[in-house]
Structure 1
């Protein structure tokens, strides 16, 4: 893994984020109460911005190197994950059946990440110039900075869908996040 984010390529960045996702799954499962809710909120946010950036930048590049079949399968997995994550978010960590559904969701997300790491990322490294991979990491970071922070399954998984729906959804999500943060911090 790269030590400087300025020289980190997109594959290293995404693998690092996959590790953060794995850690957050463990944190959600081992916590309770407010700590579990907060860990789940961080997981939701990371997955939402990560997948939006992948759909906008990484999958289109990977389609050229790994092929339509591989990328289409990942997009289908991401659609299913967005739908389930949205339902889990609405259910809440204390909701009936959350733990069972969360365990199934975790397996699906970790399988998805493993597929990307085995099928897409090596092909990106094989076919895309190293400088472009570093530039893509910067573009992914920029996309994540303005991406929605909640899953929006109805927006789709295409780059065009992310370009059209992403900015207004991101504004709404970030406003909702700010209000929620303020409310939690100002409870009597």
Structure 2
């Protein structure tokens, strides 16, 4: 069974709106999108990368805003800081990928590097951070966090913003403005294609 299938199976065991279940399901979809971006070409590859980029940007921003402050208390300061630092690096790489032509070999090499970093990061969250949050919060608290996460995702930026990554305070301060610009950019089709 693939990691994505395992994540979905684990998420299905949790109550609806449980933040851990939501994040596991998103991790599964992100893993699938990595594979889909790798195997597509041309405009289909650009579209899949756009879907991937938007999901990952929204996921990481909301995770930092909602999960990470609780994880600081349940998993410890060092654990939360390590996950924030990994996400800061992910945002930087995602921003680089966004500027590259998906049809070039350099894009594939960078995407493969990023995929390994994401897998390592997601595995650490699932093995260290998520169990601490699950054990340290009641079912009701996790469901409330899940609903807050989904609300935060509706207004989160859809493009990487490395300057705010890794800081829940910076995410809360900058997210409304960044999100407005990103969503306007997406609606107008202003994402430039790279030669």
TM-score (norm 2): 0.89
| Residues 1:124 and 2:133 aligned together | yes
| Residues 1:106 and 2:106 aligned together | no
> Which position in structure 2 is the counterpart of 1:151?
160
> Which position in structure 1 is the counterpart of 2:79?
70
> Which position in structure 1 is the counterpart of 2:180?
171
1:160 paired residue among 165, 169, 185: 169
**How far off its partner does 1:157 sit?**
2.0
RMSD: 1.7
> Which position in structure 1 is the counterpart of 2:70?
61
d(CA) in 1 for partners of 2:146 and 2:72?
A: 17
- Runs of 5+ unmatched residues, structure 1: 184-188
- Runs of 5+ unmatched residues, structure 2: 1-10
1:11 paired residue among 16, 20, 29: 20
TM-score (norm 1): 0.92
Report the number of matched residues.
181
**Contact 1:2 / 1:8 at 8 angstroms: preserved in 2?**
no
Deviating more after overlay: 156-165 vs 122-131: 156-165
d(CA) in 2 for partners of 1:24 and 1:77?
A: 20
Deviating more after overlay: 152-161 vs 21-30: 152-161
